[in-house]
Homo-oligomer: A and B are copies of this chain.
Amino acid sequence: MPLSDLSLPELQQFFPKRSEPADFDAFWARTLDEADAHPLDPTFTPETGPLTGVEVCDVSFAGHGGQRVHGWLVLPVHRDGPLPCVVEFPGYGGGRGLPHEQLLYAAAGFAHLVIDVRGQGGSWRAGATGDDAPAGDGSTHPGFLTRGVTDPDRYYYRRVTVDAVRAIAVARSHPAVDPTRIAALGASQGGGLALTVAGLVPDLTAVVADVPFLCHFRRGAEIAATGPYGELARYLAVHRDRVDRVFRTLDYFDAVNHGARATAPARFSVALMDTTCPPSTVFAAYHHYAADKRMEVHTFNGHEGGGAYQDGLNLTYLRSAFEIA
């Protein structure tokens, strides 16, 4: 898979103008306020199973509209005092999976909360959370990206974002977690959600966004050769008269705009042969990110990005961010 986006020197200069609705902050303030009508009501149910080195809780809480959202909290069995916590969001199509798929951060001595992205989890890693979808005003393209996309209030990612923001509070509510040391983390869609949360939650310790999705939707829809940005392109290929309206909705959800409000330090990674989240969309988010940041570039990778190698860098970074000796 050859390079197909801008060259690295061009990417390093790629600073596209942001497209942001005037009421962006008002929209999100209202959205989160409405969500507060539903008490968070987190539950942590211990899970029994063959794992002896970690303690696993089946987590649920009231997400958008009060709907129950599920996740796992994974803790090292042996711990001294409250732990810093990594809150992780899955990539597109995946869910929280099985507990034994979530061992990395506990093995590093962190608490780890991984939550479902509502409705997802039927494509590669199982999920347990449905999406109570209002009908919206019409048709969608298969996938999640176009559900309700003609109306910001009914757009699917409004619900997902509320869930993600509330997941931070869920993590903080558990007695084993040190609420002052929380990182938001994810790859692809998870990375885009981590950036989104970074713009909406003021006091995170760190943000990790690997090959993030949900950044600069228009460029993604125009140049991504694989992956979910293509759902937008295919939808707009049918609904040729809705192009402006759709991107007006997406402006509220663009992680580029959220990141421009972030205050927590962030570590990004990007893959130059990524045709699912093309590097220019990632650099757009990176260059507009408002706080301390660093970018790891993987030249010969596609959307797998830095993979386990990047996980290693992330662990080292998180230990430092969490001030672990």
A residues at B contact (CB < 8 Å): 1-4, 49-54, 67, 76-78, 93, 95, 97-98, 100-101, 103-104, 106-109, 116, 118-144, 146, 148, 221-225, 230-241, 243, 273, 275, 298-302, 304, 306, 308-309, 311-312, 315-316, 319
Question: B144, A223: Cβ atoms under 8 Å?
Answer: no
Bound: A136/B93 CA distance, A: 17
Bound: A224/B4 CA distance, A: 11
Q: Determine the chain B residues whose CB is within 8 A of the CB of A221 once the complex forms.
A: 300
With A122-B146, A139-B122, A233-B273 in contact, is A319–B50 under 8 Å at CB? yes
Bound: A144/B140 CA distance, A: 10
Q: Determine the chain B residues whose CB is within 8 A of the CB of A135 once the complex forms.
A: 67, 118-119, 129-133
The main secondary structure of chain A at its interface with chain B is: loop
Bound: A127/B146 CA distance, A: 13
Q: Determine the chain B residues whose CB is within 8 A of the CB of A107 once the complex forms.
A: 51-54, 100, 103, 106-107
Bound: A26/B301 CA distance, A: 35
With A95-B139, A142-B143 in contact, is A235–B122 under 8 Å at CB? yes
Identity of the chain B residue whose Cβ is nearest the Cβ of A221 in the assembled complex: B300
Bound: A301/B239 CA distance, A: 10
Identity of the chain B residue whose Cβ is nearest the Cβ of A77 in the assembled complex: B78
Bound: A308/B301 CA distance, A: 25
Q: How far is the CB of A157 from chain B (nearest CB, A)?
A: 15
Q: Which of B125, B131, B238, B300 contacts A123 (CB 8 A)?
A: B238
